[in-house]
Copies of this chain bind each other. A is one copy, B any other.
Amino acid sequence: MQTGVTVIRAHAGSHFLHKVPAAAMVINGFGKSVGLMQLDELGVLETPIALTNTFSVPVVAQAQIKQALALHPEIGRTWPTVNPLVFECNDGYLNDIQTLAVRASDYTQAHDIASEQFGQGSVGAGRGMSCFELKGGIGSASRRVEIGKRSFTVGALVLANFGKRAQLTLNGQALASRKQEGADDPEKGSIIMILATDAPLEARQLRRLAARASVGLARTGSNFGHGSGDIALAFSTAYTYPQAPTAEMPAIAMVHEQHLDGLFQAVAESVEQSIVSALWWAESVLGRDGHRRLALREAYPQLG
């Protein structure tokens, strides 16, 4: 089973009770992620963020529903329903996606082991992902940004599963010839880019951050291919919104709009670096029908 699930938790508590300000940017909407409509309307996420393969979105969404119900039996009865949030890429080159191998327990296990320390490359949802026809998967990077006398962090985690070999660009330089065999084949990959920051931002500002994920993506060689679901989501850990309308709303002083440029640059750089990191850490995987993806360092030993 060359597939899996990755879970990102914005905080340690119930995301339903303590909703997290968030916004998404659909860079290219050839994708099957669920949960973005309500997130766009309300500006919050209310479950952890799950990443998996395309055909496993339903089973993971259902696992999120059951998890929320187990925690809060009022959901769907005296309380409103819960909005699952599942992103996907198609790992069908290495994984036999038609087997629908992912189980609800894969979600709960990934959820429970989520921690500040985590592996990169061919792990979790990244297990079967390809990137530039090499082995891709999970990558992460972060930047610190000074605003006035305060210091904030922007962190990116990507599920990288896009690109043709001829496009691969590291530090601005193409690694392969543009005349690769199959260079004209359509791209069938995708990339999910999750951004977290401790800067206090409202959903509209987070949407502006998410839009800069495309900068980092473009610099690795992507043209946002027709068949690639390229989606970014940004959330802030600086505060939460209470579920109960009787609870007090937080009074937050957001970052002044003119101070966003540093955060924008941090997003661009951390996304680009996350993609490189996914390639760097991913180990070669042999998958269905003898398909193999080489690790970056196998394909380009001079990088080592």
Chain B positions within 8 Å of A226 at CB level: 208, 257-258, 260-261, 264
A67 within 8 A of B: no
Give the complex CA separation of A38 and B229 in angstroms: 9
Our pick among B69, B81, B212 for the contact of A223 (Cβ within 8 Å) is B212
- CB pair B38 A37 closer than 8 Å: no
In the complex, how many residues of chain A place their beta carbon closer than 8 angstroms to a beta carbon of chain B? Answer: 90
In chain B, what residue has the closest Cβ to A91? Answer: B76
Chain B positions within 8 Å of A121 at CB level: none
Give the complex CA separation of A247 and B249 in angstroms: 23
- Considering the complex, which residues of chain A in the window 196-230 have a beta carbon less than 8 Å from any beta carbon of chain B? 202-204, 208, 211-212, 214-215, 218-219, 222-227, 229
Chain B positions within 8 Å of A83 at CB level: 32
Our pick among B62, B69, B174 for the contact of A58 (Cβ within 8 Å) is B62
Give the complex CA separation of A182 and B32 in angstroms: 39
- CB pair B249 A253 closer than 8 Å: yes
Q: How far is the CB of A77 from chain B (nearest CB, A)?
A: 6
Chain B positions within 8 Å of A36 at CB level: 37
Q: How far is the CB of A91 from chain B (nearest CB, A)?
A: 10
A299 within 8 A of B: no
Q: Within the oligomer, what is the number of copies of this chain?
A: 4
Chain B positions within 8 Å of A249 at CB level: 253-256
Q: If the complex has contacts A77-B98, A215-B222, A249-B256, are A32 and B38 also in contact, measured as CB distance less than 8 A?
A: yes
Q: If the complex has contacts A28-B41, A73-B98, A252-B251, are A223 and B227 also in contact, measured as CB distance less than 8 A?
A: no
A122 within 8 A of B: no
Q: How far is the CB of A230 from chain B (nearest CB, A)?
A: 10
- CB pair A211 B224 closer than 8 Å: yes
- CB pair B37 A26 closer than 8 Å: yes
Give the complex CA separation of A225 and B267 in angstroms: 12
Complex A-B: 8 CB contacts under 8 Å? A29-B38, A43-B204, A77-B97, A172-B173, A241-B256, A242-B256, A245-B257, A249-B255
Of all A-B residue pairs in the complex, the 4 with the closest CB atoms, nearest first, are A172-B172, A29-B41, A58-B58, A245-B258
Known: A57-B61, A212-B223. 14 other contacts (CB 8 A): A28-B208, A29-B40, A30-B42, A55-B62, A61-B61, A80-B90, A81-B97, A169-B172, A204-B204, A219-B219, A225-B261, A226-B257, A226-B258, A226-B264
